[in-house]
């Protein structure tokens, strides 16, 4: 089932329709759906798709030759080209009509023969005005694609005509792959596996929410049982320390010095490693909404929900799961009321993220937001730190204060009153508005109050999917 990516497909079709030479660069973390998107675009088009291997240049050239000749010269002898220059030039010359050439896992090819990027540069410069080739280079190594393909020092710099950094799905797109589950379960599954299409595709719509989590994470043969470890091994040469950093963040450490202290490394080393994890889309840096530049208030959070769930709930149970106690470990997370409280706490930041996504993409608000995010800072009067789940502003003086409640009880007037109290920390804001998000709807009293005030919006789960 193909879901989402409407913008990317529309852009690709637009460039394809122009008829002239195009060079598109695709990059994004592993499992995010780059190849699936490219294959959707290739449907009903004459195309060559080559996936490079982590092998020698000779073997990659032989594999590339097979794919080219199978499409462009199926009746001719299938002898390998003598060089990558010959192979690619053959494609440029053959593209007198539209032809799509996809080089997937391009970093593997470029690393097997360091001249490949220069060869492509030479051919692009030679044939860009005469060839109708639609060239696509795709890679999962974010640093390689950004530096060695798009970067200023790359031979290919300035040659690309379009680029696509493929992001994970948001909660709404993810939910489209989960038709058998109720709204709450859709949000929880998003909070557990994130927006990676490959992981979402592993969820079985014919079994229960809890059964899916058990089969994916708490079974030694489960698809996601060792996924974070495997990904880190693929991306990093020495994943042990990175494991410690991710585990520290998952357990509550959020500042560089706190993370470094828990892992037992220098702060400078920790900062560099956090930058690497950020480039991989596993960690994100945050500072209070409205701050124009990072400050000492900067914190780090796990941006990948699957990593966050795995390090929070699976990692501590690895030995037990391996010994056959995964079912019990999973049941303790969702089965008991006290453990359910732990999972509700875990879901709090997930629901905040979903609420922010809702405001950016799906709300019918007339706001044109300048920024949306979390806010934290001091309360000088009370001499304590305060937090606001959502702080958003437009360019016209309107500021939106939001609170998100992921809990089984209805949200009442006390939550709104507390939010109004916190908004007093911003006395210079001329136009204050309020928004409350609730998993379990709202009390009759709060509904009445919001209607009377006229400056308060209430959003329940049903509205998330309207």
As assigned by CATH, the class of the 349-464 domain is alpha beta
Q: With beta carbons less than 8 A apart as the criterion, state whether 87 and 119 touch.
A: no
Q: What is the pLDDT of residue 292?
A: 56
d(CA 44, CA 38): 12
Q: How far apart are CA 356 and CA 362, in angstroms?
A: 10
Closest CA to 307 of 286, 330, 331, 278: 278
CA distance 368 to 290: 15
Q: Residue 101 pLDDT more than 60?
A: yes
pLDDT at 366: 66
**CATH code of the region 6-165:** 3.40.50.300
Q: Closest Cα partner for 48 from 6, 3, 87, 8?
A: 87
When pLDDT is cut at 50, 70 and 90, the band that residue 283 belongs to is very high
Ranges of each domain in the chain: 6-165, 172-335, 349-464
Please state the pTM of the whole predicted model: 0.91
369-379 and 398-405 beta bridge pairing: unpaired
**In whole angstroms, what is the distance from residue 37 CA to residue 379 CA?**
48
Confidence class of residue 96 from pLDDT cuts 50, 70 and 90? Answer: very high
- 358-367 burial code (b ≥16 CB/10 A, e <16): bbeebbebeb
What pLDDT is recorded for position 338? 45
The CATH architecture of the domain made up of 172-335 is: Orthogonal Bundle (1.10)
Distances (CA, A) of 267 to 119, 188, 213, 236, 245: 42, 34, 36, 20, 12
pLDDT band at 280 (very low <50, low <70, confident <90, very high): confident
Average pLDDT of span 40-64: 97
Q: Tens of pLDDT along 356-398?
A: 999 988 776 667 788 999 999 999 888 899 999 999 998 778 8
Q: Which residue has the tokens 């990676």?
A: 196
pLDDT recorded at residue 293: 57
């Amino acid at each position: 089932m193909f879901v989402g990516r409407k913008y990317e497909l529309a852009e690709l079709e637009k460039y394809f329709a122009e008829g002239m030479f195009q060079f598109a660069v695709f990059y994004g973390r592993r499992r995010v759906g780059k190849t699936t998107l490219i294959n959707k675009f290739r449907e009903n088009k004459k195309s060559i798709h080559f996936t490079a291997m982590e092998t020698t240049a000779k073997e990659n050239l032989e594999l590339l030759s097979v794919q080219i000749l199978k499409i462009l010269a199926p009746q001719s002898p299938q002898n390998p080209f003598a060089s990558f220059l010959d192979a690619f030039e053959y494609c440029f010359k053959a593209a007198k009509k539209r032809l799509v050439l996809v080089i997937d896992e391009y970093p593997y090819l470029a690393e097997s023969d360091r001249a490949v990027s220069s060869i492509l540069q030479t051919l692009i410069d030679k044939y860009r005005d005469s060839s109708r080739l639609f060239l696509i280079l795709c890679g999962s190594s974010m640093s390689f694609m950004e530096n060695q393909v798009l970067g200023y020092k790359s031979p290919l710099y300035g040659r690309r005509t379009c680029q696509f950094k493929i992001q994970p799905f948001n909660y709404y797109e993810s939910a489209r792959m989960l038709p058998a589950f109720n709204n709450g379960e859709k949000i929880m599954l998003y909070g557990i596996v994130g927006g990676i299409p490959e992981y979402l595709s592993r969820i079985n719509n014919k079994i229960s929410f809890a059964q899916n989590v058990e089969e994916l994470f708490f079974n030694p043969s489960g698809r996601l049982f060792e996924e974070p470890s495997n990904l880190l091994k693929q991306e990093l040469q020495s994943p042990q320390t990175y494991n410690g950093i991710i585990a520290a963040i998952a357990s509550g450490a959020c500042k560089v010095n706190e993370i470094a202290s828990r892992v037992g490394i220098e702060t400078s080393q920790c900062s560099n490693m956090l930058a690497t994890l950020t480039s991989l889309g596993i960690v994100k840096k945050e500072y209070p909404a409205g701050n124009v530049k990072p400050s000492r208030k900067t914190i780090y959070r796990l941006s990948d929900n699957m990593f966050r769930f795995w390090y929070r709930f699976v990692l501590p149970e690895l030995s037990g799961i391996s010994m056959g106690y995964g079912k019990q470990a999973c049941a303790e997370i969702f089965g008991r009321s006290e453990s359910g409280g732990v999972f509700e706490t875990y879901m709090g930041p997930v629901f905040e993220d979903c609420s922010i996504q809702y405001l950016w993409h799906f709300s019918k608000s007339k706001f044109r937001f300048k920024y949306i995010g979390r806010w934290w800072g001091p309360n000088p009067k009370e001499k304590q730190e305060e937090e606001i789940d959502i702080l958003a502003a437009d360019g016209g003086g309107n500021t939106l204060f939001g609170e998100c409640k992921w809990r089984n009880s209805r949200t009442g007037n006390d939550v709104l009153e507390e939010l109004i109290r916190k908004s007093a920390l911003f006395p210079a804001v001329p136009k204050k508005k309020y928004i409350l998000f609730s998993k379990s709807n709202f009390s009759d009293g709060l509904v009445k109050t919001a209607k009377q005030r006229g400056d308060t919006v209430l959003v329940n789960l049903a509205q998330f999917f309207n």
